[in-house]
Amino acid sequence: MTLPLTFSPEVAQARASGAAIVALESTIITHGMPFPQNVETARAVENEVRAHGAVPATIAIIGGRIHIGLTSEELDQLGQAQDVAKLSRADLAACLATGGMGATTVAATMICAHLAGIHVFATGGIGGVHRGAETTFDISADLLELAATPVTVVAAGAKAILDLPKTLEVLETHGVTVIAYGQDDFPAFWSRSSGLKAPLRMDHARDIAAAQRLRTALGLPGGQLVANPIPVDAEIASHEITPVIERALHQAEEQGISAKAVTPFLLDRMYEMTEGRSLTSNIALVLNNARLAAAIAREMAAG
């Protein structure tokens, strides 16, 4: 069976010439940010990757095919579409089978990137262990994907809407390499520090690329989480963000939000309650992650 992969002209050319490529996810576009900032941000992130010597490959499912790299029209279409499916490992193939449109989460983007021979991927935040997981069992499939699929994911850590100590424990249990970039602490998305020490620290893109290469050479499946702290001037102080997080979590519980709906609900509430401030910071940290991912991709391409 030939895989239903469609490469954009830009990505096809990059593959042919052996250029550095950075994968980008699409759930952040459809379920993580409101229109039109979602499409504007997606374009800005792609341009940031290009400006730093790599080719962006935004990944999504359109018409029952995995698109590796979107044209400008496809990006517009996805950013404005209603009721786009949020796809993870569990539902990726089913969406392809039924010819649907879907946005890829971190987990599904890793799977598609790996199929396309792309080893590095930039996003904002990853899914993790939700607070109260000891009763809800809500643990993102992103964590298990990191254990299974050889892609290095650059994120600004995980949001404090999650239980960060438990998230780090699950990553450790599953043997995921977790690297803080340029500092000792594990960052917490809007804050440069979570107050938790990251398992590993690296200061150079070259070392991060070499570690992924060696992991695979050793026969160890899985990837790496590179936790890149938000730029200082975009940070939101923890005393400002903590009460907003508490309120969002309270509303989710009150309204009985569960399963796939939890993360998009919380993100939406955060945007509303911070009057867009959380979005401005979110955009700044994604751009920052795109720059680091481009540097890692260049090291990987150089071998």
215 versus 260: smaller Cβ distance to Mn ion? 260
CB of 12 to ligand PSU, least distance (A): 25
Catalytic residues: 25, 159
95 binds, among ligand PSU, Mn ion, none (CB under 5 to 8 A by kind): none
CB of 4 to ligand PSU, least distance (A): 21
Of 131-139, 175-183, 220-228, 277-285, the segment contacting Mn ion by CB under 5 A is: 131-139
Where does this chain bind ligand PSU (CB under 6 A)? Answer: 25, 27-28, 32, 105-106, 124-127, 140-142, 159, 260, 263, 267
Task: For residue 172, give both structure tokens.
Answer: 């450790």
- Within 10 Å of residue 109's Cβ, how many Cβ atoms? 33
- The answer to whether residue 145 forms part of the interface with Mn ion (CB under 5 A) is no
69 binds, among ligand PSU, Mn ion, none (CB under 5 to 8 A by kind): none
- The answer to whether residue 138 forms part of the interface with Mn ion (CB under 5 A) is yes
- Within 10 Å of residue 31's Cβ, how many Cβ atoms? 20
Q: Tell me which residue of 286, 293, 266, 250 sits closest to 45, measured CA to CA.
A: 286
Task: For residue 82, give both structure tokens.
Answer: 């209603």
CB of 105 to ligand PSU, least distance (A): 3
Task: For residue 49, give both structure tokens.
Answer: 């990757």
Q: H/E/C letters for each residue in 15-26?
A: HHHCCCEEEECC
CB of 130 to Mn ion, least distance (A): 6
CB of 13 to Mn ion, least distance (A): 37
Contact yes or no for 74/46 (Cβ under 8 A) = no
Measure the CA–CA gap between 26 and 76, rounded to whole angstroms. 12
25 versus 46: smaller Cβ distance to ligand PSU? 25
Measure the CA–CA gap between 27 and 103, rounded to whole angstroms. 5
10 versus 138: smaller Cβ distance to Mn ion? 138
Q: How far is CA 270 from CA 134, 175, 244, in A?
A: 24, 31, 7
106 binds, among Mn ion, ligand PSU, none (CB under 5 to 8 A by kind): ligand PSU
14 versus 22: smaller Cβ distance to ligand PSU? 22
- Residue 142: which H helix or E strand, with range? helix 141-148
Count of residues that bind Mn ion according to CB under 5 A? 1
Helix (H, G, I), strand (E, B) or coil at 197: strand
Which positions lie near Mn ion, rule CB under 5 A?
A: 138
